[in-house]
Homo-oligomer: A and B are copies of this chain.
């Protein structure tokens, strides 16, 4: 049975290969997709095939690819491996895409996830030629039910010259009603307050408006999202989660947080999972989440009644949980809300709701600056994602990492980070498996003491203290004592010898 109830759009049904012919060199293409959810499954591959053929003929053919966030091999790998991407934004985590960024083939603009849609509306990224958007179904009135992510789809659909829709019958029809697509954004001077005052508030509509005249093709698919299996938390992650939960409990005890905390945001990954597991076992009730992605652990918290409502822009589930969500989506539609990422990550809401943010990082320095994106200063890992959207406006902003990486060859606490994504002004709490440093209201020298004592790995603690003592003796000022000859020497040593430890 078709998912395309609108006759005019059903008449545009075609193959991905046919639809891909519209795409030409130098076009900017906005695609759906956020952390492996809701990306187009067929068009990117079909476009990649045409790009490869063009390259074989010696023709130039590269496109700009704007998405919600990271996608999946069918999109990023497919287009990157044929050298088909001239420009990528705002986030990626695909090994092939990463390789092409770091070898200079593809330009990559690492833009805050909440900023992309407003920037596109403002015209700061040029014209959007085409939107390729996965949807769950098309209704008789021509509106479309979003699939497992909302991302920037509403803006891409509104702004693109032309639209291709992928209708994916793998996505559950039970998703209908879960989305809250807000159509009230404007460019200044016409912007109005976004009237969300509680995580569960709905201010939009459950479907995308589609201008049928812009739709040049509709494609059907039943491919499933890329859902990565759940990894049980390791010992370090459990320790980090434990420190965070202890910290939050103490904040409640001190009267600085309500008993049910404040809306939680957390990045994806081991530590986030461990925090969610910890919350299952912990004393907190009536929790809420205002975040980017719905993970397995949140579904458990909702099921257990520990969490009342979760707001995000996408799912990021294991295959098992994705299957469960597909079966039971309708039951979750009143306690899960998927919003455009411009709203899920909006500074106005994050500040108002008082979000407690917890994000992973690559490294932090002794003064509390955080590098979320670059390996040894030059090499892009994934991107800043929404970490700064949340950190910059959060009620409490925490960053977490194991204290060492590469079997101890890298200290994740360094004299000076090799790239700055979050400055000393915005980072409030640092946590490693060694412990937690509460940096709120401290001058940089006081932060250094806490970070070295509480967070550094024993193998690097003395080295950090020596750097700090030496810098304090020799620096031209005591606000943030650095020896600029040595500040990045640990990274240099790693690049030269394969370890930050001295010979």
| A binding-site residues for B, Cβ under 8 Å | 87, 89, 101-104, 107-112, 119, 122-126, 187-189, 191-195, 197-198, 254-256, 258, 262, 347-348, 351-354, 369, 374-380, 384, 388, 392-393, 395, 418-425, 428, 440-443, 445-446, 471-472, 475-482, 484-485, 487-488, 491-492, 495
Contact = CB atoms under 8 A, between A and B. Distances in A.
Contact of A122 (B189, B256, B472, B492): B256
29 contacts: A101-B479, A104-B445, A104-B478, A108-B443, A109-B442, A111-B441, A112-B425, A119-B440, A123-B255, A187-B354, A189-B354, A191-B353, A192-B352, A347-B351, A347-B392, A377-B487, A378-B471, A378-B475, A378-B479, A378-B481, A378-B482, A388-B423, A418-B484, A420-B420, A422-B423, A484-B491, A485-B488, A485-B492, A488-B488
A390 to B, nearest CB: 12
B352 A188 contact: yes
Contact of A192 (B188, B197, B354, B374): B197
Nearest to A108: B443
B119 A441 contact: yes
Contact of A108 (B87, B476, B479, B485): B479
B125 A378 contact: no
Nearest to A254: B123
A87 B444 CA distance: 12
Q: Name, among A101, A107, A376, A478, the residue most crowded by chain B CB atoms within 10 Å (CB to CB).
A: A478
State how many copies of this chain the complex holds: 2
A423 B347 CA distance: 17
B353 A189 contact: yes
Contacts of A354: 187-189, 191
A188 B353 contact: yes
A254 B127 CA distance: 13
A292 to B, nearest CB: 17
Contacts of A482: 377-378, 418
Contacts of A492: 484-485
B479 A262 contact: no
Nearest to A123: B256
Contacts of A380: 477, 479-480
B378 A478 contact: yes
A122 B258 CA distance: 11
A427 to B, nearest CB: 12
A476 B379 contact: yes
Given A423-B421, A480-B377, A352 B191 contact: yes
Contacts of A428: 124
Contacts of A375: 476-477
A425 B374 contact: no
Given A111-B425, A478-B104, A188 B262 contact: yes
Given A441-B124, A484-B418, A488-B484, A101 B256 contact: no
Nearest to A192: B197
Contacts of A441: 89, 109, 111, 119, 124-126
Name, among A126, A388, A392, the residue most crowded by chain B CB atoms within 10 Å (CB to CB). A392
